[in-house]
Amino acid sequence: MFELLVLILVFMILAGVLAIEADDLVSAVVSMGAVGFGLSACFLLLRAPDVALVQIVVEVVILILLLRGTIGMGIETVKGHRDRAGMAGGVILVVLFLALALYVAVELPKLGEPGFVRFLDSPSWTYLKESLSLTGATNAVNAVLLDFRGYDTLGEVIVLFTAVLGSIALLRRKHRQEKKDE
Amino acid sequence: MNEGMSLIVRTIARWVVGFIFLYGIYTLVYGHLSPGGGFAGGVILACAYILILIAYGRRFAFKNLDWRIARSLDSIGGLLFLVLAFLGLLFLTNGGAYFFANFIQKLHPGKPFHLFNAGIIPLGNLAIGIKVLASIFVAVALLSALRLFDERGERSFESMEEEK
Amino acid sequence: MIVYLLILILFCVGLYGLVSQRNLIKLIISLSIVESSVYLFLITAGYRKGAGAPIMKLGESAGQFAQRAVDPFPQAMVLTAIVIGLGVLALLITIALRLYHRYGTYDITEIRRLRG
């Protein structure tokens, strides 16, 4: 299973490189979809079926939004990289980040020993042991999401509401700013 | 996306959309027993409505679910979730009430692995599913009705929302 | 360990796309790749060797369930984050369309030079 995970990750990296370097926007969006579906396969291998289900369906909606919202509008598009100074600064940033992250990554625990096994007072023990007796739900992820951590779900509902409200407000026919300028 | 697609696409969409809707409702309602829940079920239901939007065109799809009704449904779903959270404070009166308390499970506990079980969790799934369905449908419907170039090829911004 | 390194490389691929591309849609695509790498990192941090999904089977006790399940906590957080990422992406696409209507181009170097 570990080799399969590494193989899918290499596929995702190659698809990601193709997504950002492709000239044609349709190829870039399809490669981004490939990264998303590979991610869902990784979630299934890591024993997270709930998250894999949500990731597949959300990836389909993201593909619909990107393909219809930007490429289906008939806009001629611009290709290529930024100017020299911007790209030099950017590459230095990425190399710096990679060096710092590699310096920290040696402290990460081995794959297969999560936090709640090493620390015996972590909340995940309560979530696993008491999810049936305290909430009556047998899906521990749903019990955590809606009973033990319901406040975070309320915050997520508010964020989704705000994002769609802002999107509706931006799509009005004549924006008020333009009316004031005339 | 004003007019729909060809006859083959419309026929297959008409056969398939019932199954997608049923699968979305199943994922939503059995969220506390098997993988799924409010978010996955809501997005699957939204995909059913988006399929009708793409295959049959805007006019037919808005007769099915108008985007203004979907906007109100979005707010209703969020309010339902908030009311469900506050009811926990009202009902548990013997000291032990807190925000988001699972008051149904504490007062009338159910049997495990049954459908009417786990108190507030299926109701929360329902509220979240309604909200996610309405949000995603409104976002895709408004983006599909946008036109950036008018008939002469000039740049304009035609959308469905009138200016107040 | 090599899994964490590959996730880090995926994050850096997305970050490179954010700093080097000129098209606004490529920036949105790179942001989505960065988010995907973060979700994978969180779920990988909760994996337990030889364990199963955090869903109880019929006839299992709570103690047995706690010994054989992966961590449910990062899975719930990542589920929330995925849906929030969808909402943010819808808003970003709307902003990009508005920018196109205002400036006539998706090129971020041009948008920076034209002011109003």
Buried b or exposed e, range B119-128, using 16+ CB within 10 angstroms: bbbbbbbbbb
Instruction: Please state which CATH number belongs to domain C2-48+59-113.
Output: 1.10.287.3510
Rounded to a whole number, what is the distance in Å from the CA of A44 to chain B's nearest CA? 12
Buried b or exposed e, range A50-77, using 16+ CB within 10 angstroms: bbbbbbbbbbbbbbbbbebbbbeeebeb
Distance CA B31, CA B12 (A): 29
Mean pLDDT of A48-71: 91
Q: A174 pLDDT exceeds 90?
A: no
Tell whether the torsion through CA atoms of C49, C53, C59 and C64 is positive or negative. positive
Distance CA A36, CA A42 (A): 10
Which chain B residues touch C58 with a CB distance below 8 Å? 113
Distance CA B96, CA B45 (A): 37
Mean pLDDT of C4-14: 94
pLDDT tens digit sequence for A5-42: 999 999 999 999 999 988 888 899 999 999 999 999 99
Which chain C residues touch B146 with a CB distance below 8 Å? 97
pLDDT at A42: 94
Q: Do C97 and B146 count as a contact with CB atoms less than 8 A apart? A: yes
Which chain A residues touch B103 with a CB distance below 8 Å? none
Angle formed at CA A80 by CA A78 and CA A85, multiple of 5 degrees: 120
List all residues of chain C from 1 to 60 with a beta carbon under 8 Å from chain A: 1-10, 12-23, 25-26, 28-30, 32-33, 36, 39-40, 43-56
Cβ-Cβ contacts under 8 Å for B20 (sequence gap 6 or more): B44, B47, B48, B51
**What are the CA-CA distances from residue A83 to residues A88, C12, C23, C107 (Å)?**
9, 20, 13, 12
pLDDT tens digit sequence for C59-108: 888 888 888 889 899 999 999 999 999 999 999 999 988 888 888 788 88
Residue of B nearest to C89 (CA): B139
Residue B56: inside a domain, yes or no?
Answer: yes
Which chain B residues touch A64 with a CB distance below 8 Å? 50, 140
Domains of chain C, residue spans: 2-48+59-113
Mean pLDDT of B135-140: 93
Report yes or no: B57 and B4 within 8 Å, Cβ to Cβ.
yes
ipTM score of complex: 0.91
- How large a percentage of chain C has pLDDT more than 90? 51
A13 touches chain B (CB under 8 A): no
Residue of C nearest to A29 (CA): C29
pLDDT band at B105 (very low <50, low <70, confident <90, very high): confident
Of the listed ranges A52-61, A102-111, C106-115, the one predicted with least confidence: C106-115
Tokens 């805007």 -> residue: B58
Tokens 């369906």 -> residue: A57
Residue B163: inside a domain, yes or no?
Answer: no
Picking from A47, A167, A175 by the largest number of C CB atoms within 10 A of its own CB, the best residue to mutate is A47
| Paired residues of C69 in beta bridges | C52
Residue B97: inside a domain, yes or no?
Answer: yes
Picking from C11, C26, C39 by the largest number of A CB atoms within 10 A of its own CB, the best residue to mutate is C26
pLDDT at B164: 44
Rounded to a whole number, what is the distance in Å from the CA of A161 to chain B's nearest CA? 7
pLDDT band at B1 (very low <50, low <70, confident <90, very high): low
Query: In chain B, how many domains are there?
Result: 1
Distance CA A50, CA B40 (A): 8
pLDDT at B93: 66
Which chain C residues touch B36 with a CB distance below 8 Å? none
Look at B148 and B78; give whichever has higher pLDDT: B78
Report yes or no: C101 and C17 within 8 Å, Cβ to Cβ.
no
Domain ranges, residue B56: 7-146
Q: Do C97 and B148 count as a contact with CB atoms less than 8 A apart? A: yes
Residue B1: inside a domain, yes or no?
Answer: no
Tokens 């998706």 -> residue: C106
Three-state DSSP at C23 gives strand
pLDDT at B23: 96
